Amino acid sequence: MLLHIPNILAPEQVAAIRAALDQAEWTDGRETVGPQGAKVKRNLQLPDASPLRAELARVVLDALAHHPLYHAATLPLRTLPPRFNHYAGGGEYGYHVDGAVMALSQGEQLRSDISCTLFLAEPEEYDGGELVISDTYGEHEVKLPAGDIIIYPSSSLHRVTPVTRGARIAAFFWVQSLVRDDSQRRLLFELDTAIQTLTRTGADAQAVLQLTGTYHNLLRQWAET
């Protein structure tokens, strides 16, 4: 499921993060990928051990925790704390697929079900830098307002086009969902969305209750903990 979720961060949160990143010490983004990714990746990142990265990641994670649409779409079980990247001067990331298993703290691991990019620069601030996601329906170019997020299956082939003017700044991270299968997550999200709409419009309470029961029984059947 490819989904654009607006307003994960408020404008003042974006401004505060950008101000902090303007003073940051960046490192070569190839340090956090394997040999295949390093061949096609040209960008900068905050070092994983940077205290600033940990501080800003907490801000993003707190915002995500309070966003019901994001939660409904991802059904998160584990989340890799966000990283932050910077593309400028022709920086790009060629076609690649994200790693399937990633290390968390204290020996834990995360299966990457969902990839997330949270945009921190406005589209007019830079040229290029589109996130291009390839699936069975073709290629989808994504370039969102600052504070908005795109989520998509981590199994997707994707790239970031060269940034030829300005700087593309974003947070990115991965989610292991309670529901591994993307098609099942989509069905649950569509059902949840329909239930919320029916509730708001005053639909028959018994019918809404039955649909809600169906949602939870499907989640109970498909969830992995």
Per residue in 56-104, pLDDT tens?
A: 999 999 999 999 999 999 999 999 999 999 999 999 999 999 999 999 9
Distance CA 130, CA 141 (A): 6
Distance CA 216, CA 189 (A): 12
User: For the segment 122-175, what is each residue's pLDDT rounded down to a tens digit?
Assistant: 999 999 999 999 998 899 999 999 999 999 999 999 999 999 999 999 999 999
In the block, residue with structure tokens 């990142």: 45
Residues 129 and 95 in one domain: yes
SS (H, E, C) 5-45: ECCCCCHHHHHHHHHHHHCCCCEEHHHHCCHHHHCCEECEE
Residue span of the structural domain in which 54 resides:
3-177
Q: What total number of domains does the chain contain?
A: 2
Residues 42 and 97 in one domain: yes
Look at residue 33 and tell me whether its pLDDT is greater than 80: no
Residues 108 and 197 in one domain: no
Look at residue 37 and tell me whether its pLDDT is greater than 80: no
Residues 119 and 186 in one domain: no
Residues 109 and 47 in one domain: yes
Residues 188 and 172 in one domain: no
pTM to 2 decimal places: 0.95
Distance CA 154, CA 175 (A): 9
Distance CA 137, CA 157 (A): 12
Give the domain CATH number at 59.
Answer: 2.60.120.620
Give the domain CATH number at 196.
Answer: 4.10.860.20
Distance CA 132, CA 187 (A): 24
3-state secondary structure of 85: strand
